[in-house]
Chain A
Amino acid sequence: MIEELLQSSPGWANFGIFFLLGAVLLLIVLGFVTYGILAERKVLGYMQLRHGPNQVGGKWGLLQTVADVLKLLLKEDIIPKAADRPLFIIAPVIAFAPSFMVLATMPFTDKFQFADIGVGLLYYIAVSGLTTFGMLLGGWASNNKYALLGGMRASAQMISYEIPLVMSVLGVILLTGSLNLNDMVEAQKHGWFIILQPIGFVVFFIASIAELNRTPFDLPESENELVAGYHVEYSGFRWAFFMLAEYVYLFAMSALITVVFLGGWLAPISFLDFIPGAVWFALKFSVVVFVYIWLRATLPRFRADKLMEFGWKVLLPIALANIFLTALIKSLFF
């Protein structure tokens, strides 16, 4: 359907359809973010032997996040006097825009995908790197030493862990022979890449937690050293945009792991094919999100110098060895 639209002659109707599709995806993502935050708080709560939100919106606190967002919208918008005003305003936008852009190439099911581009995986990694600027510029524009340190840490960490992230999926790319995400799902018909590429998956998963700035790698906003990191000076809706970017990346990264390692919309066993692909995708996706929350509740934070050492001296060599091993296996057995 998208292919037809792209080939048809441009006009207001076409523009409207694209706009509507984009708005629908944005609403889906916002819905995920709303309930993703609630799920995170509930799961964290139960893991720490408490209840989590249970007041607003019934027993399960279903309206808690909605109320929080309303509060953020109504808050006073503060821009510090010594801040670099234009950069301070544009930084949350630069941080958020790429997080939504990466979803364009994600194949949710075999039909529900916006752009089937040949270099889908590379596109995701390249565009997600742009968010670093938002954090770095936000930290710099705040004119606050904690914010600057947080921004510096964020960019150093994201760049360091981008390298093992790319290197660990090279094994998958070698087995698929393509950078296209659809081809990757098709290649997993006879076995998911989590089974064929266990080392690659573990490295990718660890590096992805660091990319998402989540515990145990949440050094950019480690509250006991840096107050809150790069967004100390932000409040109200601008702060909400940074948070939104973070959770949209959680959405995108979980979707990417589902597609690349867990077989996307494919059913695990062929006789379960009658269940639609969207359901399978949602199930696998939810499992990945749950594991992220689970790790957040379980692990303590890394130390800053250990973090860099771990990325460069442990993850990168393992990822390189995995490429070598995969190439060997491929040339011997396939």
Chain B
Amino acid sequence: MTFSGEFLAFMGIALVAIIGGVLLLNLTKVVHMVVSLIFTFVAIAGLYVLLSAEFVAAVQILIYSGAITIIMLFGIMLTKHNDEHEPKTGKWRKILVFLGVLGFAAAVYLGIYNFNIEQVPTTLHENNTMQIGKALYSKYIIPFELTSVLLLVALVGSIILAKNEKKEADDQ
């Protein structure tokens, strides 16, 4: 078996993504969990780059690891952040869960190994930013506009929430 550069990059990025996910579940402090989540998000962006979807990768970093995790961090830091986990569960349950995970992994591995996807040559990777733009503004224009209305509603809603709070504070 030969190791191509793409394979090595994939292994590295996939490992970071999985380790980030495992740490997210296993760490005890909430802020540490968010940090491992950042690593997972960035690694997923790396996987998009390997699939030649550069635009999606940049947006993934901008939105997920940039905006969403910052909001999570702000929320955690401004609330009670010293919350520790509940006590660990028993030994037998751990072993059973481990066996279950092992069985699931084996089932997924067998399923994917024998699954045959027919490879069709496409031009999706060329100029994909332009292709996304064209598709978004011609074929999917109605869902796109609906999303913007949804976002506008969310924006107005959050402004009203913030305004009410100020009025109450003034009254007191």
One of A120-128, A197-205, A261-269 at the interface: A120-128
Tell me if A118 is interfacial: C-beta within 8 Å of chain B: yes
Contact assessment for B38 and A133 in the assembled complex, using a CB-CB cutoff below 8 Å: yes
Q: Choose among B4, B35, B70, B128 the residue that contacts A90 (Cβ–Cβ < 8 A).
A: B35
Contact assessment for B66 and A84 in the assembled complex, using a CB-CB cutoff below 8 Å: no
Contact assessment for B54 and A129 in the assembled complex, using a CB-CB cutoff below 8 Å: no
User: How distant is the Cα of A133 from the Cα of B69 in the complex, in angstroms?
Assistant: 9
Tell me if A228 is interfacial: C-beta within 8 Å of chain B: no
Which residues of the other chain, B, contact A140 by a CB distance below 8 angstroms? 31, 73, 77
Q: Which of B102-119 contact A (CB under 8 A)?
A: none
The dominant DSSP class at the B interface is helix
Contact assessment for A155 and B70 in the assembled complex, using a CB-CB cutoff below 8 Å: yes
Given contacts A9-B4, A10-B5, contact A122 B55 (CB under 8 A): yes
User: How distant is the Cα of A155 from the Cα of B77 in the complex, in angstroms?
Assistant: 13
User: How distant is the Cα of A252 from the Cα of B166 in the complex, in angstroms?
Assistant: 41
What sequence of 0s and 1s flags, for each residue 71-110 of chain A, a beta carbon within 8 Å of any chain B beta carbon?
0000000000000101100100000000000000000000
User: How distant is the Cα of A127 from the Cα of B41 in the complex, in angstroms?
Assistant: 12
Contact assessment for B77 and A148 in the assembled complex, using a CB-CB cutoff below 8 Å: yes
Given contacts A90-B35, A137-B35, contact A129 B8 (CB under 8 A): no
| 5 more A-B residue pairs beyond the given contacts A87-B35, A122-B62, A140-B77, with a C-beta to C-beta distance below 8 A | A130-B65, A132-B66, A136-B73, A155-B73, A159-B70
Footprint of B on A, CB under 8 Å? 9-10, 14, 84, 86-87, 90, 117-119, 122-123, 125-127, 129-130, 132-133, 136-137, 140, 148, 152, 155, 159, 162, 179
User: How distant is the Cα of A133 from the Cα of B42 in the complex, in angstroms?
Assistant: 13
Which residues of the other chain, B, contact A152 by a CB distance below 8 angstroms? 74, 77
Tell me if B94 is interfacial: C-beta within 8 Å of chain A: no
What sequence of 0s and 1s flags, for each residue 40-66 of chain B, a beta carbon within 8 Å of any chain A beta carbon?
001000000000001100110110011
Would you mind naming 8 contact pairs between A and B with Cβ atoms under 8 Å apart? A87-B31, A119-B58, A129-B66, A130-B42, A133-B70, A137-B31, A140-B73, A152-B74
Contact assessment for B31 and A84 in the assembled complex, using a CB-CB cutoff below 8 Å: yes
User: How distant is the Cα of A137 from the Cα of B32 in the complex, in angstroms?
Assistant: 10
| Nearest 9 Cβ contacts at the A-B interface | A10-B5, A129-B66, A126-B61, A126-B62, A122-B58, A126-B58, A119-B54, A119-B58, A123-B58
Q: Please count how many residues in chain B sit with their CB below 8 Å of the partner chain's CB atoms.
A: 27
Which residues of the other chain, A, contact B38 by a CB distance below 8 angstroms? 130, 133
Contact assessment for A118 and B127 in the assembled complex, using a CB-CB cutoff below 8 Å: yes
Measured CB to CB, the nearest residue on chain B to A137 is B35
User: How distant is the Cα of A36 from the Cα of B58 in the complex, in angstroms?
Assistant: 30
Measured CB to CB, the nearest residue on chain A to B45 is A126
User: How far is the CB of A159 from the nearest CB of chain B, in Å?
Assistant: 6
Which residues of the other chain, A, contact B74 by a CB distance below 8 angstroms? 152, 155
Measured CB to CB, the nearest residue on chain A to B65 is A130
Given contacts A10-B3, A159-B67, contact A129 B62 (CB under 8 A): yes
User: How far is the CB of A84 from the nearest CB of chain B, in Å?
Assistant: 7
Tell me if B134 is interfacial: C-beta within 8 Å of chain A: no
User: How distant is the Cα of A179 from the Cα of B128 in the complex, in angstroms?
Assistant: 11
Tell me if B129 is interfacial: C-beta within 8 Å of chain A: yes
User: How far is the CB of A89 from the nearest CB of chain B, in Å?
Assistant: 12
